[in-house]
Amino acid sequence: MAGLELNNLTSLTEVHMKGNNLEGEIPDLSALELLETLLCSDLSNNNLSGSIPSYLATLRNLKALYLQNNNFSGTIPAALLQRSEASLLMFEFSGNPSLCNSINTECSPSQNASQAPQSLSSNSRSSRGIIVGISVAGVLLLGATIGFVAYFIYRKKNSSLHNGTIHERLSQVEVAESKSPVSPIMCKLIPAELNVRKFSYEEIEVATNNFTTKLGEGGFGPVYKGWLDDGRVAAIKVNSKISNQGSKEFLNEIDLLSQVHHKSLVRLLGYSNEEKQVLVYEFMSEGSLYECLHGPHKYNSVLSWVTRLKIILNAAEGLSYLHEGCSPKIIHRDIKSSNILLNDQMDAKISDFGISRNQLISVTDAVPTAAMGTPGYVDPE
């Protein structure tokens, strides 16, 4: 394929250009119809400069925008910050020292866009032959089916930039068929269609009787007992301001649990992201394994060895499903007794997927090595 006009990508949903040494400013693409379907854009870890275009805030379907570790300058568009504060957009912009957050700080003259670091496009003219791999995952072309991956390969010739801006036309594009399954979790965003229900905050207040019955407190925030309009009892987790977990974990849990289903995994019934971040789960009447073993009523509910073996097997089945039954594999990264919940039949189910991650197929992705979750025993391997 000799070339591809961006206007031909009528169903573009995700753009991944992370770490490709891109330089210059983000061009004005506000007139392109393809942006109407854009859900996620990752331009992090490049050398992009100039101001962040305000039209990005007008993309109503955009759920994730990653601009960290670039050379952007000037004032961040207030509309982007407001969407981020309202949990409508996952917005990352750290690592841009010349950027000014106009909501929390007053912009100084030194942070004006005119004093931003200059583009390095002049240096790039002397680096002919440098190959910059631009990977665009999740581009859904009309008529394309799941199982196809578009790999965009852009070779710099003379200059990969034109007047300091990214080309609106990619000069060399190849579309290849992938034999490997494609990760559906490439971007931390709420998909347009989910197998779980979206609740309004008013419905959450009604279900919990204005948050009267508190079941406990977790890393995400308080957990309340609720009664849904279809008669089901639910455990409703509400994110607190002092929680160590934020939008990233919230979106990750929704994304994972809306796609995986197993009798040994706690079922996600729905969510709300209006006034607060809320997760609605099936109710597990016996609480966590930790409470049964170490809680105040541990002597009233001593677990028999048969029950303990049953719990161990249930948890193992859940982990086996995550590791072997999912494609790509899912690594929980925070298995502990407080994240194993029990129902009235003492069936065990794994919960709390906030810091889980899927094992991506791409060889360019770094293998996670950092210890996550609650400090405790870590396998020496």
Q: Which of 334, 347, 352, 379 is catalytic?
A: 334
DSSP 117-168: PPP-HHHHTT-TT-EEEEE-TT---TT--TTEE-EEEEE--S-SEETTEE-S
Asked if 117 and 71 count as a contact pair (C-beta separation under 8 A), the reply is: yes
Distance CA(373)–CA(366), nearest Å, equals 19
DSSP code, position 343:
-
Q: If we measure between CA atoms, which residue out of 193, 238, 241 comes closest to residue 213?
A: 238
At which residue do the structure tokens 């852009």 appear? 154
* Catalytic residue list contains 365: no
Residue 137 φ/ψ region, left for φ over 0, alpha for ψ in the -120 to 50 degree band, beta for the rest: beta
Residues designated as active site: 334
